[in-house]
Structure 1
Amino acid sequence: MRLINRTLASHLRKSSQHRPKKNDSLRQMIEYYSRFSPSPLSLRQFLDFAQKTGDEKTSFSWLRQELPTRLANMVKEMNRLPDELLVMPSTKLVTSWYNTSFEEVIDFDKNKTDAKNIERFHKVLQGIIQRHRNVVETMAHGIMEWKEKCGNDQSFHQTYQDKIQYFLDRFYTSRIGIRILINQHILLFGDSAVRHPNLYGTIDPNCDVPLVVEDAFTTAKFLCEQYYMGSPEVNVHVHNVSDKEKDSVTIIYAPSHLHHICFELFKNAMRATMERHPDVVDVPPINVWITKGGSDCSIKISDAGGGAARQMTTRWFEYLYSTAPRPPRSEDARVTPLAGYGYGLPISRLYARYLGGDLQVQSMEGYGTDAYIYLKSLSTAAVETVPVFNATTTEQYRRPMLTGDWVVPANQKHKQFMNPFNGKTCKH
């Protein structure tokens, strides 16, 4: 927290040296670019550009228009957040990062597409990636600061939960899209020594789904064994309907995205299994089914970790909700914890949905949980799903909380009701 505040103070001192005229110009440029909608790409378009038609000048020309559009949309939407949240130190820091990045990118708006500007643009993109590496954690800290200042009471949750959920889903999805655009440029046209031989940027034209799943399991297992001194094993079943001659499943995809999703799900499954069976030597294994059809590539991860009640599972995709105790700060922790931050499932679902897929979880209380990952089998159908700022967005933040028009007993715990049979008043 002290580091965040020092970084923020340093940035604000630099910002205060800017002339008001420059700040006014920056706001005008953000307003201008926010009127445009992002131009989503499909995985096929990403791959075709990398394999066939792409060159650095074309990428430079397109990104210097597309990146300001996406950044401006994000900044405008952030400005619709409650003032009490925007003044939190961590939130101000995130806002300053996006303003700075926008300012750096629009500096190339009128520049020539010569070698000098292209090289400078490449360095700016590397700087943006570095600057924004802790956006998720810092924004989460800003939300936590705000909730703590408001007392963390139930009225706060009822008033702001939907709006914060709406904003963070869109904010983090925008971040995913911006990062993949920048990383594609850096990896395709940067130092060839750091390029992966089988990838075009971040995209694998032959992404071996079972291999990525097993790698994610191995990574999660390493953490689990450190934390619990043991780990469940995994059974992987593969069924390729679209190509029966193959005994594996490959699709065009970003392996890093799939690894992130599976890693988070395995962490949850392992933690639940180990805590459900604390004194068992051979804990129940985690079962994985991978299928590929004409439209979808589907992955099911099943555990016998005891499951959870439906009223709990409905909160699993809420930001900052976690059934595990909040972990210690990294400098004080002996080992990396398996859970506790409450962002694993929500962010994983965004990664799945970003390219037209989805992530769903079904739980059987008393037995275990099944997680379903859906990806697009066809690269032409795997299109970026990115938010756009417009009047509808603004209305979402202005709309007051609506009163429920159903009497839901689970939400009426502390209310008084009259018993129609005896006329007595009692708590529900």
Structure 2
Amino acid sequence: MQRNPSQNMVYHDLGIKAAQSLVTIKPRTFIELGEQSLKATREFLSDQLAVKFARRLDLFETLPALMPYIDRGLLGSVRQDYLDWFQRIRDPAVAKEPDNFAATLDFLRHRHHDAVSRTVWGVREILRKNGERLRSGDSDVEAYAAEEQLQHFLTDLFKKYIRFELVMNHYLLARQSGDSTAILNKGSLRDTIGIALDNSTGLCRTRRGFSPNVDVQTSTPAVLTTPTPHFRRPIHYVTQELLKNALRATVESAKYSGNGQASYPSVRLECDATAEGGYMVRVTDRGDGINKEAMDKVWSFLYTTAEFPPDLTYETWKREPKLAGFGCGLPISRLYANFLGGDLTLESTEGKGTQATLTLPPLVIR
């Protein structure tokens, strides 16, 4: 396709930014940004978002497993979004004017979430509609390589997404409040975990008509009640995902008595301090557990236990409140845990239940 001079300039700029490296965003990054002016943070974000969008576009157009599909369907729309966002963030009127930049960030936060979801749905569509073709190479090695490419692509996509979402929130909160550490919640973990508990049980009641009981336990009450600087978004997200999974497993494995009454064991939610000065959140259910074959796949963005009708469209799916999403909750949760320097582990016994444990180190802010 022949490009006009204006398009040539955009693609030349894209090539330059795609060749640059992204800064690795860590919890410490937010402290460093908090020590800078809002202008410096705006310049950092403007540059790094341009690099991120350019590198993502480059991957769309060079990854063998994606190349045949990038001009149509959901992936085609996502590719166009990234191109539009790159041009928007590179607009001097946006990069240099604080109000325009804040409005652009707010727009990107909302649109970026949808683009990430569309990308996953698009990749799943590729595997569903073209799975046999993808697996019909000269050997199983080629099929494995295609799926490995897509898994790595989605892992990198989400890793960058969750970190840049936090940086964008940091800038907007700091600009609004005048507090350079506004991204850190200064309240107690009980508040953050309590919101996750209310959301997950409320969603279960919406989708299933009721929710099993959740038994909250701690052997170190101070870890819940003492104000502790923490990143609310990651801890809330992970806790809610673990609770949603446990509630769903409990409902779907209900035991019935002779008179037809269902019995639902309580889900246990534990939050305790660790010997290292951090904290642990553990969710335990007594559902049907996860078999070994499924356990090997739960950390993959390409796998889900949720069942979708063949004719279900992305637009219809995204409008519905969901107790089960499309298989990204656990892998995203582990990425959040890794970002905070912690870990997320899963233990399950088929027929007996599952235990998920989030372990986080103390947040070092100095």
For residue 300 of structure 1, what is the aligned residue in structure 2? 282
Aligned length: 350
Asked if 1:287 is matched to 2:264, the reply is no
Asked if 1:261 is matched to 2:246, the reply is no
Structure 2 residue aligned with 1:233, among 194, 213, 225? 213
Trace 1:77-92 onto structure 2 (pairs within 5 A).
77-82=59-64, 83-92=67-76
For residue 333 of structure 2, what is the aligned residue in structure 1? 348
Distance 2:223 2:360 in 1: 19
Match of 1:371, SS? Answer: strand
For residue 298 of structure 2, what is the aligned residue in structure 1? 316
Distance 2:93 2:345 in 1: 41
Structure richer in helix, relative to its length: 2
Asked if 1:358 is matched to 2:343, the reply is yes
Larger Rg: 1
1:176 Cα offset (Å): 1.5
1:308 Cα offset (Å): 1.9
Match of 2:289, SS? Answer: coil
Structure 2 residue aligned with 1:175, among 153, 157, 161? 161
Trace 1:156-171 onto structure 2 (pairs within 5 A).
158-171=144-157
Q: Give TM-score scaled by structure 2 length.
A: 0.83
1:138 Cα offset (Å): 0.9
Structure 2 residue aligned with 1:36, among 15, 20, 40? 20
Change (3 A) 1:331 1:66: closer
1:370 Cα offset (Å): 0.7
1:214 Cα offset (Å): 2.6
1:215 Cα offset (Å): 2.0
Question: Does the Cα contact within 8 Å between 1:290 and 1:297 map onto a contact in 2?
Answer: yes
Residue deviations 1:249-299, cap 9 Å, x none?
654332122212111111111111112125355521111222233264221
Question: Does the Cα contact within 8 Å between 1:306 and 1:368 map onto a contact in 2?
Answer: yes
Change (3 A) 1:324 1:123: closer
Question: Does the Cα contact within 8 Å between 2:26 and 2:339 map onto a contact in 1?
Answer: no
Distance 1:334 1:85 in 2: 25
Match of 1:220, SS? Answer: helix
Extract unaligned runs of 5+ from structure 2.
Answer: 137-142
Trace 1:73-222 onto structure 2 (pairs within 5 A).
73-82=55-64, 83-108=67-92, 117-151=97-131, 155=135, 158-190=144-176, 200-204=181-185, 206-222=186-202
Trace 1:40-55 onto structure 2 (pairs within 5 A).
40-47=24-31, 49-50=33-34, 53-55=35-37
1:91 Cα offset (Å): 0.9
Identity %: 24
1 or 2 for the larger relative contact order (CA 8 Å, sep ≥6)? 1
1:151 Cα offset (Å): 4.5
Distance 1:331 1:247 in 2: 39
Match of 2:212, SS? Answer: coil
> What do you get for the CA RMSD once the two structures are aligned?
3.3
Change (3 A) 1:376 1:31: farther
Amino acid at match of 2:10: L
1:333 Cα offset (Å): 10
For residue 140 of structure 2, what is the aligned residue in structure 1? none
Change (3 A) 1:370 1:245: closer
Match of 2:218, SS? Answer: strand
Please, which moves more after superposition, 61-70 or 257-266?
A: 61-70
Amino acid at match of 1:77: L
Amino acid at match of 1:343: C
Residue deviations 1:71-129, cap 9 Å, x none?
33322233332212323421121112112212222233997x5xxx2222222222322
For residue 406 of structure 1, what is the aligned residue in structure 2? none
Change (3 A) 1:338 1:153: farther
Distance 1:250 1:92 in 2: 46
Amino acid at match of 1:23: Q
Q: Give TM-score scaled by structure 1 length.
A: 0.72
